[in-house]
């Protein structure tokens, strides 16, 4: 994943979606299917072959068919747009299917999402979940995949809209194929998708984001649940690929929230003219990494790094709710996965999320998958998530 285009961590996700946003989404028929294209048709043996050497394939039971589904949703401004996702259905003959919503990590290149890149970790994760007999909705989010516009990285409304509308589109498509999705959704996601998991779960449970779907279980993986601390650590070069994470975060948030007037206010003069163009969705992680220094101290001005370390104004206001994606009480089982060897998102983030849940009286488990780096942690976690979802389904 690191070599593909998933940096992996800056969170996108935060405050609850407002009722107004929900009603607007209804007006633009959020979740309406625009187009469908078959992306893969695999036997169980072929699924196991795709996973070999990357993710444990011992739980594979069925073949799967995967589809690239484009659907209607809303962007960061609440305006109508389209997004894409990968929908995967098992070839198990069952009419009624449990459903997983899989939420991906930080992706800079729009073609490195599950619907487009057959070798991406997110495609492999979706194949594994479906091969256990589940339907899978793996949204690309707004502005990635074949969706319109730019990716509003870090916008809570667009994140929830793309995820919930993705579920609606998956339900419509499955119904057209004689299948029915069960109401309770098992939500999981990696890195950026960790806080997204908690945000979408809260929207389904507390905000009634959809009339049909309900929350079934939560399994976030290696997420930055304390975003203020994560960005401050990036400013201090205490995490891997700190400059690239921070540059993606800053350029996206500037588009949405107006953090600076000119790139020269933020970036060192050697790079100020090119940074924004590199994060346009059409450059790979490798291309960006070859053009920019990986250390924040070499990429940003010291004055701006101090603003990240001690945010105020709009930055402080927008970060505050993003430090609280776990600060609620899920009424379902929650298991938080992380790897103690993660150099991108420190293990302390998982403990932070667990502590917030505990203070709210929620039942949760915190699982260390071992001494693995950021991208390997998700490969280690997914087979355990399958087992956790199996256990959760028995208690629901």
CATH number at 248 reads: 1.10.260.160
Task: Answer whether residue 310 is part of any domain.
Answer: yes
The predicted-structure confidence for 218-258, as pLDDT tens digits, reads as follows 999 999 999 999 999 999 999 999 999 999 999 999 999 99
Q: What pLDDT does residue 213 have?
A: 97
Q: What is the DSSP string of 322-369?
A: HT-TT-S--SS-EEEEE-TT-SSS-THHHHHHHHHHHHTT--EEEEE-
- Spatial neighbors of 33 by CB under 8 A, at least 6 apart, are 69, 70, 71, 169, 172, 173
For range 187-192, the mean pLDDT: 97
Residues 12, 159 contacting (CB under 8 angstroms): yes
Displacement of CA 236 from its chain's centroid (Å): 25
Specify whether 156 is located in the same domain as 240: no
Task: Answer whether residue 387 is part of any domain.
Answer: yes
Cβ neighbour number for residue 177 with a 10 Å cutoff: 12
User: Rounded distance, CA 83 to CA 343, Å?
Assistant: 31
Q: What pLDDT does residue 255 have?
A: 93
For range 89-103, the mean pLDDT: 97
Specify whether 66 is located in the same domain as 152: yes
The predicted-structure confidence for 27-55, as pLDDT tens digits, reads as follows 457 999 999 999 999 999 999 999 999 99
The closest of 236, 259, 245 to 312, measured between CA atoms, is 259
User: Which of 321, 343, 364 is the C-terminal boundary of a domain?
Assistant: 321
User: Rounded distance, CA 30 to CA 3, Å?
Assistant: 33
Specify whether 168 is located in the same domain as 268: no
Name the residue with tokens 């993705």: 166
Specify whether 217 is located in the same domain as 232: no
User: Rounded distance, CA 35 to CA 37, Å?
Assistant: 7
Q: What is the DSSP string of 87-138?
A: EEEESS--SEEEEEEEE---B-STTSSTTT-TTSHHHHHHHHHHHTT-EEEE
Specify whether 59 is located in the same domain as 173: yes
User: Rounded distance, CA 21 to CA 253, Å?
Assistant: 20
Specify whether 198 is located in the same domain as 298: no
Q: Does residue 19 carry a pLDDT above 70? A: no
Q: What pLDDT does residue 396 have?
A: 61
Task: Answer whether residue 365 is part of any domain.
Answer: yes
The predicted-structure confidence for 163-176, as pLDDT tens digits, reads as follows 999 999 999 999 99
Specify whether 79 is located in the same domain as 186: yes
Q: Does residue 60 carry a pLDDT above 60? A: yes
Residues 183, 214 contacting (CB under 8 angstroms): yes
Q: Which residue has the higher pLDDT, 342 or 6?
A: 342
Radius of gyration for the alpha carbons in the chain, expressed in angstroms and rounded: 19
User: Which of 321, 342, 375 is the C-terminal boundary of a domain?
Assistant: 321
Q: Does residue 259 carry a pLDDT above 70? A: yes
Under the banding of pLDDT at 50, 70 and 90, the label for residue 157 is confident
Residues 135, 169 contacting (CB under 8 angstroms): no
User: Which of 321, 341, 358 is the C-terminal boundary of a domain?
Assistant: 321
Task: Answer whether residue 345 is part of any domain.
Answer: yes
Residue 116: exposure state from Cβ atoms within 10 A (0-12, 13-18, ≥19): buried
Q: Which residue has the higher pLDDT, 287 or 150?
A: 287
Specify whether 100 is located in the same domain as 41: yes
For range 339-353, the mean pLDDT: 96
Specify whether 236 is located in the same domain as 382: no
Task: Answer whether residue 50 is part of any domain.
Answer: yes
Rounded to the nearest integer, the mean pLDDT of the chain is 92
Residues 143, 149 contacting (CB under 8 angstroms): yes
Q: What pLDDT does residue 2 have?
A: 40
CATH number at residue 129: 3.40.50.1820
Specify whether 345 is located in the same domain as 299: no
Specify whether 221 is located in the same domain as 75: yes
Into how many domains does the chain fold? 2
pTM, two decimal places: 0.92
Task: Answer whether residue 8 is part of any domain.
Answer: no
CA distances from 177 to 6, 54, 88, 97 (A): 32, 31, 12, 12
Give the domain extent around 202: 19-226+325-395
Phi/psi for 275 (5° steps) reads: -60, -50
């Amino acid at each position: 994943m690191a070599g593909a285009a998933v940096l992996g961590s800056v969170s996108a996700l935060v405050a609850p979606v407002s009722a107004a946003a929900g009603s607007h989404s209804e007006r633009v028929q959020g979740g309406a299917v625009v187009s469908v294209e078959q992306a893969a048709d695999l036997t169980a043996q072929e699924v196991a072959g795709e996973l070999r050497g990357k993710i444990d394939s011992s739980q594979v039971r069925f073949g799967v068919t995967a589809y690239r589904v484009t659907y209607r949703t809303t962007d960061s401004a609440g305006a109508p747009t389209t997004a894409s996702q990968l929908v995967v259905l098992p070839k198990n003959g069952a009419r009624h299917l449990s459903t997983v919503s899989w939420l991906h990590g930080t992706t800079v290149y729009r073609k490195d999402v599950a619907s487009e890149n057959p070798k991406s970790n997110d495609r492999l994760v979706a194949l594994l979940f479906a091969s256990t007999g589940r339907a899978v909705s793996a949204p690309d989010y707004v502005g990635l995949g074949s969706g319109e516009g730019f990716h509003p990285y870090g916008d809570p409304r667009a994140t929830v809209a793309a995820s919930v509308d993705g579920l609606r589109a998956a339900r419509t498509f499955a119904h057209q194929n004689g299948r029915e999705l069960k109401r309770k959704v098992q939500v999981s996601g990696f890195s950026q998708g960790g806080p997204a998991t908690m945000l979408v779960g809260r929207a389904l449970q507390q905000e009634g984001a959809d009339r049909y779907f309900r929350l079934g279980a939560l399994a976030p993986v290696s997420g930055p649940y304390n975003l203020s601390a994560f960005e401050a650590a990036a400013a201090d070069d205490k995490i891997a690929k700190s400059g690239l994470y921070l540059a993606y975060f800053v350029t996206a948030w500037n588009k949405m929230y107006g953090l600076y007037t000119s790139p020269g206010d933020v970036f060192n003069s050697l790079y100020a003219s090119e940074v924004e163009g590199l994060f346009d969705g059409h450059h790979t992680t490798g291309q960006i990494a070859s053009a920019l220094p990986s250390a924040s101290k070499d990429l940003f001005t010291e004055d701006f790094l101090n603003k990240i370390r001690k945010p105020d104004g709009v930055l402080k206001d927008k970060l505050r709710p993003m430090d609280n994606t776990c600060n609620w009480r899920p009424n379902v089982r929650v298991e938080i996965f992380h790897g103690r060897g993660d150099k991108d998102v420190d293990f302390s983030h998982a403990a932070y999320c667990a502590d917030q849940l505990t203070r709210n009286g929620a039942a949760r488990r915190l699982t260390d998958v071992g001494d693995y780096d950021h991208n390997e942690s998700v490969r280690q976690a997914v087979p355990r998530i399958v087992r956790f979802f199996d256990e959760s389904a028995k208690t629901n």
